[in-house]
Amino acid sequence: MLIDELRAEDVPFGRRASARVVWEGPHRGPDSMWFETDAATGADFEAAPEAFVLAAMPCAVALGEPRLAVEGVLDARLRDGLVASMTVFSHWDPTCRFVPVEASGGFTTRMPRAERRSVAFLSGGVDSLSMLRSNRLTFPLDHPLSIRDGLFLAGWNTYDWNGSRLLADRRRATDEQGARLARLGAVSAFALISMRSNVRTFHPDYTFTKNLGFGAGMIAAAHCFPRRFTDVWFASHGHGAAAVPHASHVLLDSNHSSGALEVRMGEPYRLRMEKLAAVAEWDEALEALQVCLSFDTRPPGEVNCGRCEKCRRTMLALVALGRADRATTFPRVPIDALFAAAYRPVGAQQHDYSAQIADALDVAGRSDLAVAMRRPIRRAVRRERWRGIGRAARRWLGSDRNGS
């Protein structure tokens, strides 16, 4: 994979950094990668080679590229970090392999700006809002690690795109969420920076994004601002020490630092229920809380659908915490036994988290919801167990047929 023709230019929405991508292996994907920011932060924005190389790395490692090459000078610390992440990926997934990193201008270590400044990726989800809350309670506002900017990145969902075009209704929805986060910033002492990127369109499917692509792809956006930031906070996913292989992981994210930008994972060992409890105590954050996984187009002003798996479990957890009435971004629907019985957890880690919510409902005196919630959890656990037995049987039968 060759990345060249790097440039930054003004566009109607602000400023765009872009590069040509030449695929050299068997896979074919988009031939142009870009990042955009609004005009207000355009002066600090550049087409940094580090951004494009980092975003492209998972694709090069997993899709059969013979190398990862970029036009220009590349930060030497990031180069070494990419090698470390490739090693982790290849250990997790045998289809991933190490590829050499090349730069036409060679390697050097970038110097950070003289005055340190911290930014955090903020989506309005539980993880990022909890990280912001923890940061505010830990660091004085004038501390170098206090979050002074929030980076809000649009275009990170499959359903945001029609081919290479960012859908207008998705742009409208992200603008609405950006406005909510900007209001939070006004009372929480951070400036919101809106960004857009097409990195997600380079990923073949959602599984690729979840397992390999989104951590590097999102952190890459911060590398476009080496003149503005020295430290970037990226929220953990709330599974603590039980974290399974995942595109954002304690073994990966810090590898994506450069000499000019230090990547810091926020709350790496704090569990999701603990995070939600911290957010639930913060009224202003509840007014920006967005967790929805629904692919459906929603009418203007609707933040969370209240029907998808993530909405349901968050709403039930807020009941357990006694704060459902303050969560204004969720629809006003009865959160009763029928609502809880319709919950459908997917995957072992959701089973564990859901069980924690049911336990919390018992403690809160809502055993009716806990009992109704546990039934679908038990069914999901049984299905997962049978799937595991089926996978093991298929592996065994395949080994037997191969004579091993």
Q: What is the pLDDT of residues 211-227, one digit of tens each?
A: 999 999 999 999 999 99
Where would I find the H helices in 42-167? 49-62, 76-92, 126-138
Confidence of residue 164 (pLDDT cuts 50, 70, 90): confident
Tens-digit pLDDT profile for residues 298-335? 778 889 999 999 999 999 999 999 999 999 999 999 99
Tens-digit pLDDT profile for residues 362-403? 999 999 999 999 998 888 778 777 777 777 777 777 655 555
364: Cβ–Cβ under 8 A, 6 or more apart, which residues? 319, 320, 321, 322
Confidence of residue 242 (pLDDT cuts 50, 70, 90): confident
Lowest-pLDDT range of 122-136, 187-201, 380-394: 380-394
Judged against a pLDDT cut of 60, whether residue 17 lies above it is answered with yes
CA angle 283, 139, 237 (to 5 degrees): 65
Are 353 and 365 a contacting pair, CB within 8 Å? no
Are 313 and 357 a contacting pair, CB within 8 Å? yes
Please compute the mean of the pLDDT values over residues 135-159 and round it to a whole number. 94
- 348-363 vs 272-280: helix crossing angle, rounded to 10: 50
Token pair listed for 294? 């629904």
At 399 the pLDDT is: 59
Element (H, E) at 350: helix 348-363
